[in-house]
Amino acid sequence: MTSRSGPAGVAALAAVLLAGATGCAGGLAPAGGAPTPRVTKTGPAVPSAAPGGASAPTGFTLVASGDVLPHDSIIRRAAADSEGDGYDFAPMFAGVKSVVSGADLAICHMETVYGKGGGPYTGYPAFKSPPEVAAALKATGYDSCSTASNHTLDDGADGLGRTLDALDRAGVRHAGSARTEAEAAKPTLLKAGGATVAQLAYTYDTNGYPMPEGQPWAVRLLDERQVIADARAARAAGADVVVVSVHWGTEWQTEPDERQLSLGRALTASQSGGRPDIDLIIGTHAHVPQAYEKVNGTWIIYGMGDQIAGDMINHEGAFDPRGNQGSIGRFTFAPPRTPGARWEVTRAEFVPQWFDTGRGRVVNLGADDGTSQNRSDIRDAIRQVVLGRGAAKDGLVMGK
């Protein structure tokens, strides 16, 4: 992976490609429409009553998590967990399954593309992951994944197509890359509680790989005007809530970089008819946890860190344990108080998580009993970063 600041120009592109030589080198060491009853993953809920006896739209919870990045060591672990029958990634996610499946809407970031059934599969630097990842995402409870990253074109249009095909077969929606021009132009619309939620997704770059010939729409690139135009189009298509997934930032930097900050301010300031165009921004790419911040009344997660990754190597060529630390964002949305107003976030939480590369398992540190000093130290380090831009004063709390 490379720096996600993604400035234009030949010199900047050269710097991006140079940074990509180390950024993803993990795993190299040995082992509001019409009111309807709320339908959640745990069963239907009775809709609340509105004035006059009509049922009102119900609120919902949304969770979002960081990069799923299957290095060679992760692929080997999935093969071992399958006990000789292909690849089983589901055990890796088991530690956070209750968090993910307990939400009305769960969004992941599928950083890599899938290889052909049976392989061969590769890790860094050009990833081709087993398509069995998709089934594990579904089994964990994910509803949709962003698929725009700097690795989306690691295997060209074929890899992109295989990935979306596998997600479709598994029943996982996706945003950020497309097989056809019509697919690229259509927002991903999801149901959660009484709301229609649009997921839009973008990446700062594709590691210098050009768009497939004749397919300039294959991967959504990060551009302020495009994001705003797409958000407004999603509203016109019926979205009550617009969520933007962004692959951005500077690798191994816990502080959001200037482009993240300036773009975050611009996107959250954009309004139509007095209503914000974007309701939540969720970031990936930096490999390390980054802060949450409420900007112009809208929550931004600058970076959630890696959810699944091998032992990570930083730009100094050293193993960096921060590359296996991250957070899950959880937001509770309530229906508008007045017609035409936005859906409000009434509770904002982060759930600290850690990928134990020794066992090949995600650990929910928010639910950890605290008996392990090592895990307590990791949890506290994540919390310090997440709250580093004053999110606590706006109500962000640690969840389980």
Residue type, 329: G
Instruction: Tell me the sheet residues that pair with 345.
Output: 333
The length of the chain, given as a count of residues: 400
pLDDT at 374: 80
Q: What is the pLDDT of residues 140-194, one digit of tens each?
A: 999 999 999 999 999 999 999 999 999 999 999 999 999 999 999 999 999 999 9
Domains in the chain (CATH in brackets) are 10-39+58-398 (3.60.21.10)
Query: Which of 108, 342, 92, 389 has the alpha carbon at shortest distance from 235?
Result: 342
Per-residue pLDDT band for 56 (boundaries 50, 70, 90) equals confident
**Secondary structure (H, E, C), the chain:** CCCECCCCCHHHHHHHHHHHHHHCCCCCCCCCCCCCCEEECCEEECCCECHHHCECCCCEEEEEEEEECCCHHHHHHHHHHCCCCCCCCHHHHHHHHHHHHCCCEEEEEECCCECCCCCCCECCCCCEECCHHHHHHHHHCCCEEECCCCCCCCCHHHHHHHHHHHHHHHCCEEECECCCHHHHHCCEEEEECCEEEEEEEEECCCCCCCCCCCCCCCECECCHHHHHHHHHHHHHCCCCEEEEEEECECCCCCCCCHHHHHHHHHHHHCEECCEECCCEEEEECCCCECCEEEECCEEEECCEEEEECCCCECCCCCECHHHHEEEEEEEEEECCCCCCCCCEEEEEEEEEEEEECCCCEEEECCCCCCCCHHHHHHHHHHHHHHCCCCHHHHCCEECC
> Token digits for 100?
């993910």
| Cα–Cα distance, 166 to 10 (Å, whole number) | 35
Per-residue burial over 360-385, b if 16 or more Cβ lie within 10 Å, else e, is: bbbbbbbebeeeeeebeebbebbbeb
| Cα–Cα distance, 57 to 193 (Å, whole number) | 7
Judged against a pLDDT cut of 60, whether residue 12 lies above it is answered with no
| Cα–Cα distance, 155 to 185 (Å, whole number) | 23
What is the chain's mean pLDDT, rounded?
Answer: 89
> Token digits for 135?
């089934």
Per-residue pLDDT band for 26 (boundaries 50, 70, 90) equals low
Query: Which of 352, 346, 340 has the alpha carbon at shortest distance from 386?
Result: 352
Decide if 143 contacts 107 (C-beta within 8 A). Answer: yes
Q: What is the pLDDT of residues 331-377, one digit of tens each?
A: 999 999 999 899 999 999 999 999 999 999 999 999 976 566 789 99
Q: Whole-model pTM?
A: 0.89
Mean of the pLDDT values across residues 68-86? 97
